[in-house]
Amino acid sequence: MGRARLVHSLIYSSSRSFMDLKALLSSLNDFASLSFAESWDNVGLLVEPSPPHTVNTLFLTNDLTEEVMEEALQKKADLILSYHPPIFRPMKRITWKTWKERLVIRALENRVGIYSPHTAYDAAPQGVNNWLAKGLGVCTSRPIHPSKAPDYPTEGTHRVEFSVTHTQDLDKVISALKEIAGVSVTSFSARTDDEEQTRLSLNCTQQALMQVVAFLSQNRQFYQKTEILSLEKPLLLYTGMGRLCTLDESVSLETMIERIKSHLKLSHVRLALGIGKTLESPVKVVTLCAGSGSSVLQGTDADLYLTGEMSHHDVLDAASQGISVILCEHSNTERGFLSDLRDMLDAHLENKINIILSETDRDPLHVI
């Protein structure tokens, strides 16, 4: 009977054993679009074994060090999801000389892919910053810097609208404009000064706009009443960098410190008291940013800043405004999210692959 159970277990395991790499990447992008990442970031698939490549085991880590790579290989990982991109600056050669080059070599030799979401997961509604906010207590939160919708409302950066002076010129004007790359043209009827007119509406890219304006300036007899509008993509309410969190009920700074330490499983954090503040001072509004948060938190109005690291002078600036600062070390504000991520990806991927957490990944800094 024991042998029968073992065989059944092996059959069940193999039935949920793999996904094609491309299909998995598509599903990961559906979970949290890479379009939400910051423009300076290096996200997505960083190392790809020669296709076809199937993934049985997805290995999650915050940082991909050589020690973590060794663990991933021992656990037969097919794809490593490293929150921080191990490849950031361009590499001019792949040799055994530096540790990041060795990571690439070992990955390719063992047919292991490397994928990094980084700031896409920072911005995501179900991402790192939302997880960090869970440690504060009951609160409402919104992004400090909301993301813009990637593909809405339309293609192009500008809209040009004008009325065609004479109906007989309409086809000629439309035909000429459609020859410009990056322009889409629609027409509609409009009444102006009790006169029925045909108006053209053009959505166009920045480059095409210059050509449209040049065409109109050379053919003034064809049009009148021109408007040029800049198309702004709408902001997303729950997606973006950092979080501004308003607690339902104020708590003392001391209580907030204990909540944060408990959530992050830390015995110590670093604290800078705002000018005029004590451990008994009330905390109602917290702005936070996982990792290195200076650029995101700067200028926000809050009782407390929470992040992994800030420069000495940025801490002084915050404290001078009466804002207390808690620093937890960079990756300590991120790593705990991976447990939640594993559960969310299990559900999102319908348990099709094995998802495991690194046991050797840790922040490089320790308090001694």
Pairwise CA distance, residues 236 & 124, whole Å: 10
Q: Which residue in the block uniquely carries the two structure tokens 């001078």?
A: 320
Q: Are 280 and 248 in contact (CB under 8 A)?
A: no
**Annotated binding-site residue? 330:** yes
Q: Which residue in the block uniquely carries the two structure tokens 């000018």?
A: 275
Q: What is the dihedral of CA 275, 278, 284, 290, to 10 degrees?
A: 70
**Annotated binding-site residue? 84:** yes
Q: Are 307 and 329 in contact (CB under 8 A)?
A: no
Pairwise CA distance, residues 147 & 72, whole Å: 33
**Annotated binding-site residue? 158:** no
Residue type, 174: I
Please choose, from the candidates 99, 95, 129, the residue with its C-alpha nearest in 3D space to the C-alpha of residue 239.
129
Burial (CB count <10 Å: 0-12, 13-18, 19+), residue 127:
buried
Tokens of residue 345, six digits: 């990806």
Q: Please report, in range form, the residues annotated as the binding site.
A: 84, 122, 330, 334
Q: Please report, in range form, the residues annotated as the binding site for a divalent metal cation.
A: 84, 122, 330, 334
